[in-house]
Amino acid sequence: MPELPEVETIARGLHARVRGKRIAKVHIAWQRTVDARSLPLSELVGKQITGVGRIGKYVAIQLSGGFTLAVHLRMTGQLLVGSLERRYDSSGTGDRKHERARITFADASVLAFFDARKFGRMRLLHGDVVAQLGVGRDPLDPQLTADDLKEMLAGRRTPTKVWLLDQHRLSGIGNIYASEALFYAGIRPRRAAGKLTAIERSALLKSLRRVLRRAIRFGGSSLNDYVDSEGKQGGFQKQFAVYGRLGLPCLQCRGPVRRIVLAQRSTFYCSTCQR
């Protein structure tokens, strides 16, 4: 479900709402929600939340004592804050049936993890979280340069769109924003990643940053399940240039948006504007 802008929106919302809270109780309704490599979640009891951030597509809940609870929402995960009486919904989200884990705080408020498809995972870590999670560079990291991209792309024969989905190099880009960024960069999804020119690489980096930042400003994109920590939908789905717009006119040339499948994922592009 969520890509970088959605995870960023969720993390910011959670930061404002749960920072400083002390954990009183942890309940796991679906055991496989806890990653096999996780420290036992019973360790959470008594810890205080010092902040919430984002690492790639992980929501990183920082805890006292140098621990981090990393939550990956995968396709349909939701993290919602509420109370035991008034559940998590400002908009009817948080179906009890899909509650997989629940953290109760000392003040009786609740942070609950919902996930219809059961793909989402939580993992408690200590120490160098980025290394343990194996996530790549963040596209919004100002330190990241077009030269870094050149190095990462060198020799890759895989389609650029497929390369963008690999979280070990750049992390945070998913199926929607890969198509969107390639449109703005004027690059066809199938172009071999290692064959991009210097101009194309810098256009790609610029387009990625532009589309990710705009999406964050809109609170992310909601197709079906995505909501932020208050249960609110994002608004960026109305701004898509190509994603989900099969047959509709390209915003630049009016030609029809096309759909192909790459690595079993729908991919949208304009055959005139993207070369």
Catalytic-residue membership of 123: no
Tokens of 225: 């399940």
Burial readout 233-245 (b: 16 or more C-beta within 10 A, e: otherwise): bbebbeebbbbeb
> Shortest approach of DNA to residue 48 CB, angstroms?
28
Say how far apart CA 25 and CA 121 lie, in whole Å. 19
Active-site hit among 102, 210, 232, 265: 265
Asked whether the beta carbons of 66 and 128 are under 8 A apart, the reply is no
Task: From 19-27, 136-144, 195-203, 262-270, give the range in contact with DNA by CB under 7 A.
Answer: 262-270
Size of the site for DNA (CB under 7 A): 39
Asked whether the beta carbons of 82 and 110 are under 8 A apart, the reply is yes
Quick check: 86 binds DNA (CB under 7 A)? no
Binds DNA (CB under 7 A): choice among 86, 128, 151, 157? 157
Active-site hit among 2, 139, 159, 189: 2
Active-site hit among 21, 54, 57, 169: 57
Task: From 20-28, 139-147, 156-164, 195-203, give the range in contact with DNA by CB under 7 A.
Answer: 156-164
Residue 209 C-beta-side C-alpha neighbours within 13 Å: 15
> Shortest approach of DNA to residue 106 CB, angstroms?
32
How many C-beta neighbours within 10 Å does residue 127 have? 9
Asked whether the beta carbons of 101 and 33 are under 8 A apart, the reply is yes
- Tell me how far the alpha carbon of residue 53 is from its chain's centroid: 12
Quick check: 3 binds DNA (CB under 7 A)? yes
Which of 164, 188, 184 has the alpha carbon at shortest distance from 175? 164
Quick check: 232 binds DNA (CB under 7 A)? no
Using CB under 7 A as the binding rule, the residues of this chain from 107 to 126 that contact DNA are 116-119
> What would the x/- binding string for DNA be over residues 168 to 197, using CB under 7 A?
------xxx---------------------
Asked whether the beta carbons of 249 and 255 are under 8 A apart, the reply is yes
Which of 160, 260, 271 has the alpha carbon at shortest distance from 205? 160
Catalytic-residue membership of 151: no
Quick check: 1 binds DNA (CB under 7 A)? yes
Instruction: Closer to DNA by CB, 32 or 126: give it.
Output: 32
Catalytic-residue membership of 189: no
Tell me the one-letter amino acid at 217: R
Say how far apart CA 224 and CA 78 lie, in whole Å. 12
Question: Which residues, in sequence order, are CB contacts of 155 under 8 Å at separation 6+?
Answer: 194
Catalytic-residue membership of 265: yes
Task: From 42-50, 70-78, 181-189, 250-258, give the range in contact with DNA by CB under 7 A.
Answer: 70-78
Helix (H) or strand (E) holding 147: helix 146-153
Binds DNA (CB under 7 A): choice among 97, 131, 238, 275? 97
> Shortest approach of DNA to residue 91 CB, angstroms?
13
For DNA, the binding residues (CB under 7 A) are 1-3, 6, 32, 56-57, 72, 74-75, 97-98, 116-119, 134, 155-159, 162, 165, 167, 174-176, 220-226, 263-266
Q: What residues act catalytically?
A: 2-3, 57, 265
